[in-house]
């Protein structure tokens, strides 16, 4: 049985929703599916797009292809009018596509099969109000702070359109958050001036001016990052999928683990990790890996909720995995004015710790299943797929574009140019992939034409996949502009620090309390808004609080980034878990709790970034010896927490209640980046061994 036949045989064993089937077809077929809207998203709280046909499909697909070409051209031949002028043009093309691609949900004014009259009207209106500044661009910029009534009217309409686009793509929560910030900006002057968050108040013209004609509003850093970086990496991911790389990664994961008690779980985690390096989307990765590995996990003895939790936790790691981190990582680089490769370097050790926690949980599950008397499971019904070495020899060239990105970044090439070059390489490599899988030795002109059309369609789909993030980033400009104009960020940061000082005057306790409160706030914030918006809000509010406590900027930024991402596995809105539950047929909420169990050992690692000065060593900053000992301490903490959450200590066996509590205490102590704390954590962890043995004997005696 070939690896492709094996994967396809697993595919036929289950049925899922339409969106999941689209993901699977994209992974398993030799040509991409005929889709022209954003079925595959890059953020984890977006709504599925409508399926377009006929003229609307051709219009959206062609326009998306033009927008992709504009984004690539901007890398090599930037528009002479400047970056903000490019953002105006970019939004003028992208915003109408949102209204044509996503449903409004307004009853009779809405259509499922294509754009309704209202959608066409809003799309045309978006073009007009976005392009209005272009007609006399220099004069428009000169009117900053002194907008005419026409400027204000057009800016107000654009504000409404952006909020509506955000509502269509991500739901109602983020637009309501934006409206709350707008209300605070307008009515803040009515608050009692004794309140810390009171300010002088902004009139309507000032608000529109800050949003429409400044570098901190609609055309601020979030949209700049979306139009300059996120779009290109999304296109790269679409091209990789088209080239066959995503399918190769899944096949390789299946082949790496043949027959062992933990083979099924290892395969699922390895698939999530490999796909995550190019996906950047937790939900898409969880669904894609689940499509292939769920039948294997089921035969290995995993319950649907348990398997779904593992797939969701492994999928969320996609947002943390270099070289294509989640959307917010690009904003980290922009805010801190560092190169993207620097952020990649910061992410390496935390990503490895995250997957270490999941793998430890997988090994614990395997021991439990083995203890129940189950035999190891074969990864295939019949002959095993080809060995990993054979797959690497035949299709290993798919790693070349990923390696090229890293090499170019290390050589000083900009991230935008590096990803464009990698995109070209991936497109070229799609040719041998199709030749090898089809058995052809040469192509006819008709086959070449079909290849070009399919490649263009892949780029178009990739561009449409970025539309929700464009809407979110434009809406995030409302939050950043209002926070900057009113000084809200500094005030809330001060309140957060004051809450820490209320408990103690000790600087270490104040910092620890502030960090815990910040982690809770970010986790709650992530329940309501996408990762990108969660990071933007968290950085402008929580970031200053950490910086005021002398936390270095990289550690503070990565703390906010990781807790914004990890909120994706916490109930009740963990969409990666929802997608995985759809694959395994599990209940959504129990799957979310299972995902939290798998991710929990690494969930507390970001706290290490900020608790002491040594925490930044986890980002690879500092002397090699310091980096090594802090990493070892983190590994010990993750190991102990995995034992506590799984109820099993590897090498010892099952843990009773007292031993689990002691293991959890050991893990928490070890996660405090201090040599003394590390030693104490190890001692406490070793103390769990005799307690576990005593508890097990008591249980055995009681059972007998």
Confidence band, pLDDT 50/70/90 cuts, at residue 31:
very low
Confidence band, pLDDT 50/70/90 cuts, at residue 6:
very low
Classify residue 585 as exposed, middle or buried by CB count within 10 Å of its CB (0-12, 13-18, 19+). middle
pLDDT, mean of residues 517-527: 73
Reported as half-sphere exposure (CB side, CA atoms, 13 A), residue 398 has a value of 32
Classify residue 584 as exposed, middle or buried by CB count within 10 Å of its CB (0-12, 13-18, 19+). buried
- Tokens standing for residue 306: 């348990």
The alpha carbons of the chain give a radius of gyration, in whole angstroms, of: 26
Classify residue 54 as exposed, middle or buried by CB count within 10 Å of its CB (0-12, 13-18, 19+). exposed
Query: What distance lies between CA 496 and its chain's CA centroid?
Result: 27
Rounded Cα distance between 5 and 633, Å, is 44
Rounded Cα distance between 496 and 545, Å, is 7
Q: Is 412 left (phi over 0), alpha (psi -120 to 50) or beta?
A: left
Burial 3-33 (b: 16+ CB within 10 A, else e): beebbeebbeebebeebbbbbbbbbbeeebe
Rounded Cα distance between 113 and 199, Å, is 48
Residue 38: pLDDT above 50? no
Reported as half-sphere exposure (CB side, CA atoms, 13 A), residue 663 has a value of 27
Residue 24: pLDDT above 70? no
Residue 547: pLDDT above 70? yes
The Cβ of residue 675 has, within 10 Å, a number of other Cβ atoms equal to 11
Candidates 619, 639, 618, 640; CA nearest to 629 is 618
Give the 3-state DSSP-derived string for 72-140, with helices as H, strands as E and coil as C: HHHHHCCCCCCHHHHHHHHHHHHHHHHHHHCCCCCHHHCCCCCCCHHHHHHHHHHHHHHHHHHHHHHHH
Cα 580 to Cα 120, 308, 531, 662: the distances in Å are 35, 5, 19, 32
Q: Read off the pLDDT of residues 380-423 as tens digits, 9 standing for 90 and up.
A: 444 555 677 777 777 777 788 878 887 887 787 887 888 888 88
Residue 71: pLDDT above 50? yes
Rounded Cα distance between 392 and 385, Å, is 13
- Tokens standing for residue 446: 């008709």
Q: Read off the pLDDT of residues 474-519 as tens digits, 9 standing for 90 and up.
A: 888 888 888 878 877 667 777 777 777 777 777 888 888 888 888 8
Rounded Cα distance between 595 and 283, Å, is 12
Residue 260: pLDDT above 70? no
Rounded Cα distance between 318 and 170, Å, is 20
Rounded Cα distance between 199 and 188, Å, is 6
Among the residue ranges 268-272, 630-634, 653-657, the one predicted with the least confidence is: 268-272
Q: Which residue's structure tokens are 């390895």?
A: 270
Q: Which residues contact 187 (CB under 8 A, 6 or more apart)?
A: 201
Phi and psi angles of residue 114, each rounded to the nearest 5 degrees, phi first: -175, 175
Rounded Cα distance between 349 and 12, Å, is 38
Residue 317: pLDDT above 70? yes
Between 379 and 121, the more confident residue is 121
Q: Using DSSP bridges, classify how beta strands 648-649 and 653-654 pair: parallel, antiparallel or unpaired.
A: antiparallel
Confidence band, pLDDT 50/70/90 cuts, at residue 278:
low
- Tokens standing for residue 490: 């500094």
531 contacts 319 by C-beta, under 8 angstroms: yes
Phi and psi angles of residue 50, each rounded to the nearest 5 degrees, phi first: -75, 155
Rounded Cα distance between 347 and 358, Å, is 17
Confidence band, pLDDT 50/70/90 cuts, at residue 257:
low
Determine the pLDDT at residue 27.
Answer: 31
Beta bridge partners of 649: 653
Q: Read off the pLDDT of residues 562-606 as tens digits, 9 standing for 90 and up.
A: 888 776 676 655 667 767 777 787 777 788 888 888 887 777 788
Cα 429 to Cα 224, 359, 387: the distances in Å are 30, 32, 22
Between 627 and 290, the more confident residue is 627
Cα 23 to Cα 249, 380, 648: the distances in Å are 15, 22, 36
Residue 374: pLDDT above 60? no
Determine the pLDDT at residue 314.
Answer: 81
Among the residue ranges 15-29, 87-101, 199-213, 626-640, the one predicted with the least confidence is: 15-29
Determine the pLDDT at residue 59.
Answer: 92
18: part of which helix (H) or strand (E)?
helix 18-28
Phi and psi angles of residue 428, each rounded to the nearest 5 degrees, phi first: -65, -40
pLDDT, mean of residues 261-279: 71
Coil, strand, or helix at residue 58?
A: helix
Cα 369 to Cα 301, 359, 372, 380: the distances in Å are 7, 15, 5, 19
- Tokens standing for residue 147: 């907008």
Confidence band, pLDDT 50/70/90 cuts, at residue 683:
very high
Coil, strand, or helix at residue 649?
A: strand
pLDDT, mean of residues 186-213: 82
Residue 536: pLDDT above 50? yes
Mean pLDDT (the chain) is 78
Determine the pLDDT at residue 70.
Answer: 92
Helices (H), 171-303: 173-187, 204-212, 221-225, 231-243, 245-256, 263-279, 282-299
Residue 371: pLDDT above 70? no
pLDDT, mean of residues 240-253: 75
681 contacts 637 by C-beta, under 8 angstroms: yes
Rounded Cα distance between 201 and 185, Å, is 6
Share of the chain above pLDDT 90, in %: 9
Rounded Cα distance between 129 and 151, Å, is 9
Beta bridge partners of 653: 649
Rounded Cα distance between 460 and 101, Å, is 13
Candidates 530, 535, 540; CA nearest to 559 is 535
362: part of which helix (H) or strand (E)?
helix 340-371
On the question of a cis peptide bond just before residue 572, with omega within 30 degrees of 0, the verdict is yes
Determine the pLDDT at residue 65.
Answer: 92
Phi and psi angles of residue 654, each rounded to the nearest 5 degrees, phi first: -65, 145
Rounded Cα distance between 7 and 395, Å, is 16
């Amino acid at each position: 049985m070939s690896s492709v036949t094996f994967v396809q045989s697993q595919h036929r064993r289950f049925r899922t929703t339409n969106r999941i089937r689209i993901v699977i077809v994209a992974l398993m077929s030799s040509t991409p599916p005929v889709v022209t809207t954003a079925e595959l998203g890059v953020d984890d709280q977006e709504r599925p797009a409508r399926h377009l046909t006929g003229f609307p499909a051709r219009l959206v697909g062609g326009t998306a292809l033009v927008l992709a070409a504009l984004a690539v051209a901007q890398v090599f031949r930037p528009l002479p009018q400047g970056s903000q002028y490019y953002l105006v043009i970019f939004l003028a093309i992208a915003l109408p596509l949102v209204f044509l691609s996503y449903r409004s949900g307004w009853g009779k004014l809405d259509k499922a099969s294509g754009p309704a009259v209202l959608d066409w009207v809003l799309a045309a209106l978006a073009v007009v109000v976005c392009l209005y500044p272009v007609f006399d661009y220099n004069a428009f910029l000169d009117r900053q702070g002194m907008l005419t009534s026409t400027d204000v009217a057009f800016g107000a309409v654009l504000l409404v359109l952006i909020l509506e686009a955000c509502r269509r793509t991500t739901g109602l929560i983020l637009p309501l958050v934006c409206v709350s910030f707008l209300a605070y900006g307008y009515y803040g002057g009515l608050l009692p001036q004794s309140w810390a968050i009171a300010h002088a108040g902004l009139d309507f013209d000032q608000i529109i001016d800050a949003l429409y004609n400044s570098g901190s509003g609609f055309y601020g850093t979030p949209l700049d990052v979306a139009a300059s970086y996120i779009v290109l990496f999304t296109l790269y991911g679409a091209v990789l999928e088209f080239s066959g790389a995503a399918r190769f990664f899944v096949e390789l994961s299946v082949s790496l683990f043949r027959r062992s008690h933990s083979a099924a779980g290892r395969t699922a985690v390895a698939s999530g990790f490999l796909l995550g390096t190019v996906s950047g989307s937790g939900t898409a990765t969880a669904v894609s890996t689940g499509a292939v590995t769920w039948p294997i996990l089921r035969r290995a003895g995993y319950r649907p909720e348990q398997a779904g939790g593992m797939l969701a936790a492994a999928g969320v790691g996609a947002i943390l995995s270099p070289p294509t981190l989640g959307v917010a990582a690009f904003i980290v680089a922009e805010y801190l004015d560092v190169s993207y490769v620097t952020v990649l370097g910061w992410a390496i050790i935390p990503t490895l710790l995250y997957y270490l926690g999941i793998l430890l949980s997988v090994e614990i599950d395997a021991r439990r299943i083995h203890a129940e008397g189950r035999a190891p499971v074969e990864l295939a019904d019949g002959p095993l797929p080809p060995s990993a070495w054979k797959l690497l020899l035949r299709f290993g060239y798919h790693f070349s574009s990923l390696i090229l990105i890293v090499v170019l970044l290390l050589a000083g090439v900009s991230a935008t140019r590096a990803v464009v070059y990698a995109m070209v390489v991936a497109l070229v490599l799609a040719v041998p992939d199709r030749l090898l899988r089809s058995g052809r030795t040469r192509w006819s002109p008709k086959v070449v034409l079909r290849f070009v059309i399919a490649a263009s369609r892949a780029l178009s789909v990739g561009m449409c996949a970025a539309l929700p993030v464009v809407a979110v980033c434009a809406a995030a400009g409302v939050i950043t502009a209002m926070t900057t104009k009113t000084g809200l960020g500094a005030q809330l940061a001060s309140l957060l620090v004051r809450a820490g000082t209320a408990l103690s005057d000790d600087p270490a306790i104040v910092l620890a309390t502030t960090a815990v409160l910040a982690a809770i706030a970010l986790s709650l914030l992530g329940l309501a808004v996408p990762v990108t918006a969660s990071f933007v809000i968290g950085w402008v509010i929580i970031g200053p609080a950490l910086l005021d406590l002398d936390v270095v900027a990289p550690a503070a930024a990565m703390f906010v980034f990781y807790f914004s991402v990890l909120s994706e596995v916490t109930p009740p809105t963990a969409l990666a878990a929802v997608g995985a539950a759809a694959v395994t047929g599990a209940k959504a909420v129990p799957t979310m709790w299972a995902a939290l169990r798998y991710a929990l050992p690494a969930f507390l690692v970001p706290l290490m970034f900020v608790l002491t000065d040594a925490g930044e060593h986890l980002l690879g900053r500092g002397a090699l010896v310091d980096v090594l000992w802090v990493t070892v301490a983190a590994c010990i903490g993750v190991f102990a927490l995995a034992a506590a959450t799984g109820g099993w200590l590897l090498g010892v066996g099952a843990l009773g209640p007292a031993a689990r509590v002691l293991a959890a205490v050991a893990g928490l102590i070890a996660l405090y980046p201090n040599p003394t704390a590390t030693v104490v954590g190890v001692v406490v962890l070793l103390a769990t061994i005799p307690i576990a043995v005593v508890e097990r004997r008591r249980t055995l005696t009681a059972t007998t």
